[in-house]
Structure 1
Amino acid sequence: MSALLEMDGLSSAYGQSQVLWDVELTLARGQVMALIGRNGVGKTTLLHTIMGTRPVTGGTIRFDGQDITALPAHKRSRAGIGFVPQGRHVFPQLTVMENLETGLSALTGRGGGAAKVPPHIFDLFPKLYDIRARAAGFLSGGEQQQLAIGRALAGEPSLLLLDEPTEGIQPNVVQQIEAALVHVRDQLGMTVLVVEQYLDFVWRFADRYCAMQNGRIIRQGAIAEESAKDVAHLVQI
């Protein structure tokens, strides 16, 4: 498989405090990778650096063969990177449908014309169709998470970044999210990088894992070859 995302010596900082140190990571097309590690080791910062919402202080990022290190976030979105941040960040005053439609800007930015919300989003998350006229601020945490994922998928990205998608979510919604990610991997060929503390969740559908510690990648491997329990012990999660 060819590489979709390549990071070479990637570093990032908050002011004078460096958070990422010389990250080397490659994601193949169609691959699902779990990014794991304790809280505060740089996982979220890495996703934001890939998305362009945190500055790169060293190294390069290549996406689909192009150097995107200096691209602003909205151009990375148009290039095909979708992001579901921790905490969901839906627009509370907008309806569910209006929130989903905001995700279409990435598609129209790629010349998609008068885009509409793809019907498969409602197949993945039927509840969103039922509540499509409801303001997002009145949704439960699980409904907001489905909406945030649906909004990212509306832009038809080739790479989907997810930060803690199961955090604070009830088990039945976690199952729906898992089924949705399996679908976009198998049916849409989407590449996924997911930060997750619930290892049993990602071990059911991811291909590889990457463990971080103190802003560096310390271990990578194939999920089929190592158990979640063993990896959690080795990287002290």
Structure 2
Amino acid sequence: MSDALLDIAGLSCAYGQSDVLWDIDLLLPRGKVMALIGRNGVGKTTLLHAIMGTRPAKTGRILFDGTDISALPPHKRAKAGVGFVPQGRHIFPQLTVMENLETGLSASGDRSNTKHGIPQHIFDLFPKLYDIRNRAGGFLSGGEQQQLAIGRALAGRPTLLLLDEPTEGIQPNVVQQIEAALVHVRDTLGMTILLVEQYLDFVWRFADNYSAMQNGRILQQGRIADAPASDVAHFIQI
């Protein structure tokens, strides 16, 4: 069995006639966290959408857990074990917290050891969600919505979690709560995580590896332990 849970080779994507990703190669080992870093508009979010299947690939191959998922629609990738927390959270504002979480269950057929179908560890990670479980999503703060979006993705019991800017627009104390929850997800649940993130201090505390993108290509990759964040800061500075 390969050590890589995610193996991307020669991936290219376009919006209409405009290419936005060129020849992306990426290996993400099981149980590790990789951060995609780079300025806005370099293709980081498009890469996450290509992995999830919400943005079709023009060329290339995506292997997930040894299986080629390149042609699978998003709902089948979710059932295979890919969870996605998009930028902007995109929770359902008219649904309650509990109902939002329940929408994440469709990616998992196992409902054992749950509360109303929701895995108990989600409420252990984010106790506030249980306290406000009957509140409509549209009345939540930005930090609460982010916790809900992460909880909804975790409800599907993914083996790979894609996170797009999880700290964006979040108060520092809530960022700390989210970081602690994600550390638990990584260390205790053994989840593999690929995240887009501009906050390098967070990346250097949390991730194992980084891939720096520029103009739709990966220009540099490395281990977090091998270099200080200052060595890659130029990739996100304007």
How high is the TM-score relative to the length of structure 2? 0.96
Q: Distance in 1 between matches of 2:142 and 2:206?
A: 23
Deviation of 1:231 after TM superposition, in Å, equals 1.3
SS at match of 1:33: strand
Query: What pairs with 1:150-169 in structure 2 (closer than 5 Å)?
Result: 150-169=151-170
Q: Is the partner of 1:56 in helix, strand or coil? A: coil
> CA shift at 1:236, angstroms?
5.0
Q: Does 1:10 align with 2:11?
A: yes
Match in the other structure for 2:217: 216
| Deviating more after overlay: 163-172 vs 112-121 | 112-121
Matched residue, 1:194: 195
Using the aligned pairs only, state the percent identity.
77
Shift in Å, 1:230: 1.7
- The code of the aligned residue for 2:60 comes to G
CA contact (8 A) 2:111 2:118 kept: no
Q: 1:61 deviation in Å?
A: 0.3
> Which whole-Å deviations, capped at 9, do the CAs of 1:127-173 have from their partners, x for residues lacking one?
10100000001001110000000000011100000000000000111
1:226 is matched with which residue?
227
Q: How many residues align?
A: 233
SS in 2 for 1:204: helix
Match of 2:206 in 1: 205
Q: Which amino acid aligns with 2:43?
A: G
The equivalences for 1:31-110 within 5 A come to 31-108=32-109
Let me know the Cα RMSD of the aligned residues: 1.1
Tell me, in whole angstroms, the C-alpha distance in 1 between the residues paired with 2:129 and 2:100: 11
Counterpart CA distance in 2 for 1:221 and 1:130 is 41
Deviations 1:146-202 (A, max 9, x none): 000000001110000000000000011100111111101100110000100001011
Q: 1: distance between equivalents of 2:111 and 2:55?
A: 30
Q: Secondary structure at the match of 2:34?
A: strand
**Any runs of at least 4 consecutive aligned residues in structure 1 with deviations exceeding 6 A, and if so which?**
none
| Secondary structure, aligned partner of 1:212 | strand
Unaligned runs of 5+ in 1: none
For 2:54 and 2:132, locate their aligned partners in 1 and report how far apart those are by CA, in whole Å.
30
CA distance in 1 between partners of 2:101 and 2:192 (Å): 21
Structure 2 unaligned regions, length at least 5: none
Name the residue aligned to 1:182: 183
